[in-house]
Amino acid sequence: MAETNGYAGDEWRERAACRDEDPELFFPISEVGLGAKQVDRAKAVCARCPVASECLADALSNGLDFGIFGGMTPRERRSLSRRNTRAVSAERSARD
Ligand code: SF4
């Protein structure tokens, strides 16, 4: 079974700060207006989550397109993925 930061499989989920929160909080309809306040409230929960990095890695590896995971919106995760892809490409080009 895969292990992440000492957690086997999905064991990290047991330590999630959002376990006692309303799941709806993490799925705002919009990132602007009232949705922006919801995003901020969800991110505040993620900010105190001991497994935020595991959560973010899971969301990125599974290409989750909706919801706040690892303290990031889908748009922020897409931006991070693009930056990571560019960094890997630049590193490969520098080696070749
Ligand atoms: S980072 Fe946020 S969404 Fe992910 S497990 Fe922690 S509290 Fe939940």
**What percentage of residues in the chain have a pLDDT greater than 70?**
96
- How many whole angstroms from 21 Cα to the centroid of ligand 1? 10
Which residues, in sequence order, are CB contacts of 42 under 8 Å at separation 6+? 18, 25, 26, 28, 68
**Tokens 């990132």 map to which residue?**
31
Ligand 1 pocket test, pick from 55, 61, 68 with the greatest ligand atom count within 8 Å of Cβ, gives 55
Q: How confident is the model at residue 1 (pLDDT cuts 50, 70, 90)?
A: very low
Q: What pTM value is reported for the model?
A: 0.87
Range of the domain at 28: 3-95
63-89: per-residue pLDDT in tens? 999 999 999 999 999 999 999 899 999
Q: Measured at the alpha carbon of residue 85, what is the angle toward residues 25 and 70, in degrees to the nearest 5?
A: 20
Number of domains, the chain: 1
Q: Which helix (H) or strand (E) holds 55?
A: helix 52-61
